[in-house]
């Protein structure tokens, strides 16, 4: 039954098309909300979308709504609740990657109550934790201090109590073949002890399925370093007429009209995380890519 529902869910979300720039869900309007599916096969599923009114979870990150493990009551004992986020696929392009970014609050027992996020690229047949040491990820607190990041051997689960809103982003490569969808599975699990805590609240989800085709020989260029800390450098065979950078929310953070083949950009003012760039050439071609701004 569950695979039948997931299959129908996939058919629906694939119709939405595909892009190289981020989608965004703020739970306050209908834009991309159809990509969220709260698992109705779980009779005790506590995920709800709306305005939170709990002990700690009193407001969403972007007013008024978020997705929460119950809008009013503490999470119950011995519970497993799931919702899915479905995204469009890349339909057979050459290089594949995906990014996920969102804000969250956590209030749970740290021993056996936790949340986790998994990814599937085969219609829900197999799942893998996306915040593992094999992928880039970074968690930052409300003061932009790094709480956790890739490279330390951790596989991320969401547990304990955050101090305010945290944000997390992850960038991960996918197999070099075409697929028609990605599904993220958000699971919250509690043990058989009643804790009277608020659980997990998520808001302002941004996601992107990223691909690159083999570039046109007339628009060859180099971009380095990647990851970058203070400067990025672009060297092109042809004249570049425009260059822009967007963050994972899709917001424009830099743009400039150019008349150069070679230039550098100071990115020290950007927050650590993943960014997308796009450039235009005098021959009418465009190129896009992504880079990691390290801390």
Tell whether 89 and 231 lie within a shared domain: no
For the chain, how many structural domains are there in total?
Answer: 2
Tell whether 51 and 140 lie within a shared domain: yes
- CATH, residue 266: 2.60.40.3080
Task: Please give the structure tokens belonging to residue 70.
Answer: 């119950």
Tell whether 158 and 31 lie within a shared domain: yes
Domain that holds residue 244: 217-293
- Give the position of tokens 């995204």: 87
| Rg, C-alpha atoms of the chain | 20
Tell whether 53 and 195 lie within a shared domain: yes
Q: How many alpha carbons lie under 13 Å from residue 26 in its C-beta half-sphere?
A: 8
Tell whether 272 and 203 lie within a shared domain: no
CA angle, residues 29, 31, 35, in degrees to nearest 5:
115
- CATH, residue 91: 2.60.120.260
| Spatial separation of the C-alpha atoms in residues 272 and 169, rounded to whole Å | 10
Q: Read off the pTM.
A: 0.75
Q: Which backbone phi and psi does 99 adopt, to 5 degrees?
A: -135, 145
Q: Where are the beta strands (DSSP E) in 20-90?
A: 23-25, 36-38, 47-50, 66-69, 80-88
CA angle, residues 92, 89, 166, in degrees to nearest 5:
135
| Spatial separation of the C-alpha atoms in residues 80 and 286, rounded to whole Å | 46
**SS3 call for 219:** helix
- Give the position of tokens 């599923």: 45
Tell whether 197 and 146 lie within a shared domain: yes
Tell whether 36 and 175 lie within a shared domain: yes
Tell whether 244 and 202 lie within a shared domain: no
Tell whether 7 and 153 lie within a shared domain: yes
Last residue of a domain, which of 185, 212, 239? 212
- pLDDT tens digit at each of 295 positions of the chain: 565 455 555 444 433 333 356 788 999 999 889 999 999 999 999 999 999 999 999 999 999 999 999 999 999 999 999 999 987 654 444 446 678 889 999 999 998 999 999 988 877 888 988 876 567 788 889 988 888 887 666 667 899 999 999 999 887 766 554 555 788 999 999 999 999 999 999 999 988 766 554 344 445 788 998 888 899 999 998 999 999 998 876 789 999 999 899 999 999 999 887 788 889 999 888 888 888 888 7
Tell whether 141 and 229 lie within a shared domain: no
Task: Please give the structure tokens belonging to residue 267.
Answer: 């990115």
| Spatial separation of the C-alpha atoms in residues 228 and 54, rounded to whole Å | 41
């Amino acid at each position: 039954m569950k695979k039948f529902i997931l299959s129908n869910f996939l058919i629906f979300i694939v119709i939405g098309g595909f892009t190289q720039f981020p989608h965004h869900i703020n739970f306050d309007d209908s834009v991309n909300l159809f990509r969220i599916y709260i698992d109705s096969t779980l009779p005790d599923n506590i995920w709800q979308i709306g305005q939170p009114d709990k002990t700690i979870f009193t407001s969403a990150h972007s007013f008024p709504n978020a997705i929460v493990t119950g809008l009013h009551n503490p999470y119950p004992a011995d519970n497993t609740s799931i919702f899915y986020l479905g995204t469009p696929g890349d339909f057979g392009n050459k290089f594949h990657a995906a990014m996920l970014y969102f804000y969250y609050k956590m209030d749970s027992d740290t021993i056996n109550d936790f949340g986790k996020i998994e990814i599937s690229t085969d219609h829900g047949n197999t799942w893998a934790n996306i915040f593992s040491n094999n992928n880039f990820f970074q968690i930052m607190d409300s003061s932009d201090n790094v709480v956790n990041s890739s490279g330390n051997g951790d596989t991320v689960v969401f547990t304990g109590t955050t101090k305010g809103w945290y944000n997390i982003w992850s960038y991960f490569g996918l197999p070099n073949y075409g697929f028609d969808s990605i599904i993220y599975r958000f699971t919250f699990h509690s043990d058989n002890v009643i804790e009277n805590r608020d659980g997990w609240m998520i808001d302002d989800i941004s996601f992107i399925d990223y691909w690159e085709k083999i570039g046109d020989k007339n628009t060859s260029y180099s971009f380095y370093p990647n990851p970058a800390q203070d400067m990025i450098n672009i060297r092109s065979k042809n004249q570049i007429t425009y260059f822009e950078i967007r963050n994972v929310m899709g917001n424009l953070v830099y743009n400039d009209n150019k008349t150069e083949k070679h230039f550098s950009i100071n990115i020290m003012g950007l927050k650590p995380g993943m960014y997308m760039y796009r450039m235009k050439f005098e021959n009418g071609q465009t190129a896009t890519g992504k880079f990691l701004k390290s801390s």
